[in-house]
Amino acid sequence: MNRAPLVLAAMSLCLAVGAGAETVLPIDYVYAVDDTKIAEGMPRTLAEFGFFEDDAARKPLDALVPYDLNTPLWSDGADKLRYIYVPDGARIEANGEGLLRFPIGSALIKTFAFGEGEEQRFIETRVLLHRADGWVALPYRWNEEQTEARLALAGGRVPVRTPAGESISYRIPNKNQCKACHGKDDAVIPIGPKARNLSPALIETLVATDRLIAAPAVAQRLPRWQDDSAATDALARAYLDVNCAHCHQPGGGASNSGLDLRWEQDDPHALGIDKPPVAAGRGAGGHAVSVAPGNPDVSILVYRMGSNEAGVAMPELGRASVDERAVAVMREWIEDMRR
C-alpha cells in the first residue's frame, strides 16, 4: 500500500484572544494517507486550534460566529453547537441560494451534545477546515471528563441516551466516512450553510461584521423544522435536501440511484415518485417504487427511513435511531399525493 504523505498548503489562522492580543496559529501540516494512525502534525486536540478561550470549548472567541440551520441534519436528536470562523480580512461570497463560498482559512466547527444544562455532555466536535487545496474534515472525540477532545481519525462508538429515551451506540465517523457524506465530484464540501437554510438575522450579522460581501437574494428559505405551522410539502422537501441530497444528487455518493433530492429539484421522477429502484435488493423491502403517491406503506423511502437495520436504514451513516417526526412528515407528504 502506498503511504506517501499528503502535503497540504500552508496558511495560518489569526484569532483574537482578549483585548489587543493575538494568537497566530500556523497550520502547515503534512499527514499520512494511512488513516489508521494519528495524523502526524495535525492538531491532536481541539484546543490546539485556539478557537475557544477554554479547553472545554464552552467559551468561543469573538472571532467565531454561532449559527443554526432552519432545517438541521438529524443526528439521533443530538444538540449541535455550530460556529463559523473566517480569517481576519477575508470575506464569504454568496452563491445564489446555495452553499456560501468560504475563503481559504475558514473553518466550520460543530459540536454534538446530549443532555441539558449541567448534564449536557459533549460527544464529538467536527472541524471542516478550508485549505488551499480544498476542505479537510477532522473529527475530535471528547473524553469522559469533558476536559479535552482528541483527534479520532478512526472514529469510534459512544453509548448515549437520546432525548427520546433510547440507549444507543452513537457513531463518531472516521475520516473516510466524513468524506462519504461531504463528498461531491470527489471533493469534500460543507453541507449545511446554504443561504436558503440560514436565517436572515445570521446573514445580516455576517454582512454587518464584514464577513460576508453581500446578502444573497433568497426566493424561498427552507422552513424551520420545529415550526408546526409549516406546510408538510415544504418540511418534507427540506428534510430530504438536508439529510439525503448530499448523496442523492448528481456528483454525490449515491448519484447512481437516479434520485435527486435537492430542494430545487422539481421533476417528480427524480424525487422518487413512481420511480422503481435501480437495484431492487433487501433495502427495497419488496416495494416497487421509492415514493408511491398516496401510499406511504409501500414506499421505499418511508420503509428505509423507518428502519435501523444495517443495509436497509437510510441514511446509512450518521444515525442509530429513527427520526420519528421525519417519518411522520414523509408519510403525510406521500398521503397528500393521492390522485
Mean pLDDT, range 324-332, rounded to an integer:
96
pLDDT at 264: 93
pLDDT at 250: 87
Instruction: Tell me the one-letter amino acid at 303.
Output: Y
Q: Which of 306, 280, 302 is closest to 291 using CA atoms?
A: 302
Residue 308 phi, psi (nearest 5): -110, 5
- What value does the CA radius of gyration of the chain take, rounded to a whole number of Å? 20
What is d(CA 8, CA 11) in angstroms, rounded to the nearest whole number? 9
* pLDDT tens-digit series, residues 164-204: 999 999 999 887 766 666 666 567 788 889 999 999 999 99
What is d(CA 144, CA 147) in angstroms, rounded to the nearest whole number? 8
Q: Where are the alpha helices (DSSP H) in 129-216?
A: 175-182, 200-208
Query: Residue 267 forms beta bridges with which residues?
Result: none
Instruction: Tell me the one-letter amino acid at 46.
Output: L
C-alpha distances (whole Å) from 102 to each of 60, 123, 219, 267, 303 are 20, 26, 22, 30, 37
DSSP state of 101: B
Instruction: Name the residue ranges covered by the structural domains of the chain.
Output: 5-208, 232-335
What is d(CA 204, CA 243) in angstroms, rounded to the nearest whole number? 26
pLDDT at 134: 83
pLDDT at 228: 87
* pLDDT tens-digit series, residues 90-99: 999 999 999 9
